[in-house]
Amino acid sequence: MKNKPDLSFWKLWNISFGFFGVQIAYALQSANISRIFATLGADPHSLSYFWILPPLAGIIVQPIIGSASDRTWTRFGRRIPYLFVGSLVAVLVMCLLPNAGSFGMAVGTAMTFGLIALMFLDTSINMAMQPFKMLVGDMVNEKQKGLAYSIQSFLCNAGSLVGYLFPIIFTWIGISNIAEKGTVPNTVIYSFYIGAAILILCVIYTVAKVKEMPPKEYEEFHGITADEKKEKSDIFSLLKHAPKVFWTVGLVQFFSWAAFMYMWTYTNGAIADTVWNTHDTQAAGYQEAGNWVGVLFAVQAIGSVLWAIALPQFKSRKFAYSLSLVLGGIGFISTFFFHDEYMLFISYALIGCAWAAMLAMPFTILTNSISGKNMGAYLGLFNGTICIPQIAAALVGGLLLHIVGGRQISMLVLAGVLLIIGACCVVFIKETIAHQDEKKA
């Protein structure tokens, strides 16, 4: 088997650059979905249910995209066609979703429209996002994968920073941040429009700059034999033969992503309560809190970028992973004690440490442990360790909110506890290298 050559920094950069635009779309979704549906009239105890569709779409779409792209060879590549189509659909839906309350529909109809648009948006974002991780697995050698995923993490957080700040920037330049009952402010609508434009431009850049390996070359670099090419693997057999690290990292992922689901769902209501002292979704204070959520998530992104620079300096990847999750847990729990919007910068900077590790560590550990033949399929299946915890968290979110007395800030404390449990589970991870295991066998 041939060894993949080292790639220049800019080639690694180009492989992931489109991720910047995709992440703007994802940031706009994660920071504004609860705000959009609450503005349309959703009850806070029902908010978590609106978040079920995105991960549900992801858990269905990702394995299909991964498996299909493993067997796709076109003049444009194997992963890039899926990346481009997913981005194009995302752009179209981003122009529709924030207008759910502006088409003169009744409240129930507007929410149904918004839910369908949200499902398509998250499905298309997932379809566009996953190929970037697969491209790194396909084209980058083991020595450079840490750097490649760090670049991806940087672009991810840079895109998040831009997406999170759009609404408050538009407010600063004089665009209205309040709207008629049942409609979304123009600051949010225009943010989605600009995000859609940036997304398609970034993806076009990656499509133009990246040339995937042709089939024969890919097989040589990944040690795929003629017999292996003839083998047919279904999802169940792949799961049966998945390396142990797939499951142990998945356990950590369960607690980590459940925690962040509660952050995305309840931050707006939590800080509207603790900082702006309001529960009225039509109040100016609630919309100000909505803008501030973008600022806090931007602080999280900055903290994540800075921590991502520090992560490679740790000799033990597992220690760095665990420490990052503990810091994030402390950040979530501290939100209960801070009632000043600027003090919350500390909380969300710490949460950014966990986010940095979650973006880079699991995929580096996993792709090192699997062979190239089913790289896309395994990464698609691994997305289940992101989607399933979000679905589970969303299903029980309303019940847990009742248990904690209806205070959304308590859900952020629960998120901190979940991250610390995830940090403890890192001890079960045992890293492996696929080709070394094959030689031993």
CATH of residue 59's domain is: 1.20.1250.20
User: Which residue matches tokens 């079960």?
Assistant: 428
User: Using 50, 70 and 90 to split pLDDT, how confident is the model at 439?
Assistant: very low
Query: Looking at residue 222, what is its pLDDT?
Result: 61
For residue 68, what are the domain limits? Answer: 9-220+235-440
In a domain, 373, yes or no: yes
In a domain, 371, yes or no: yes
Cα–Cα distances in angstroms (integers) from residue 202 to residues 3, 16, 122, 127, 261, in the given order: 30, 10, 18, 15, 27
Neighbours of 337 (CB within 10 A): 11
The residue among 426, 440, 163, 167 whose CA lies nearest residue 289 is: 167
Contacts of 268 (CB under 8 A, 6+ apart): 34, 35, 38, 286, 289, 290, 293
pLDDT value at 438 more than 80 = no
Q: What is the mean pLDDT of residues 89-117?
A: 86
Q: In angstroms, rounded to a whole number, what is the distance separating the alpha carbons of residues 10 and 23?
A: 20
Q: Which tens digit of pLDDT belongs to each residue from 193-249?
A: 999 999 999 999 998 999 888 777 777 766 665 555 555 566 677 777 788 888 999
In a domain, 2, yes or no: no
Q: What is the mean pLDDT of residues 51-64?
A: 78
In a domain, 1, yes or no: no
Helix (H), strand (E) at residue 237: helix 235-240
Q: Express as a percent the part of the chain with pLDDT over 70.
A: 93
Average pLDDT over the chain reads 85
Q: In angstroms, rounded to a whole number, what is the distance separating the alpha carbons of residues 23 and 295?
A: 16
In a domain, 216, yes or no: yes
Neighbours of 240 (CB within 10 A): 9
In a domain, 3, yes or no: no
Helix (H), strand (E) at residue 40: helix 9-40
The residue among 80, 384, 373 whose CA lies nearest residue 251 is: 384
pLDDT value at 58 more than 80 = no
pLDDT value at 131 more than 80 = yes
Looking at the structure of the chain, the number of domains it has is 1
pLDDT value at 436 more than 60 = no
In a domain, 367, yes or no: yes
DSSP 3-state assignment of 191?
Answer: helix
In a domain, 17, yes or no: yes
The residue among 69, 176, 138, 398 whose CA lies nearest residue 266 is: 398
**Does residue 316 or residue 372 have the better pLDDT?**
316
**Does residue 389 or residue 308 have the better pLDDT?**
389
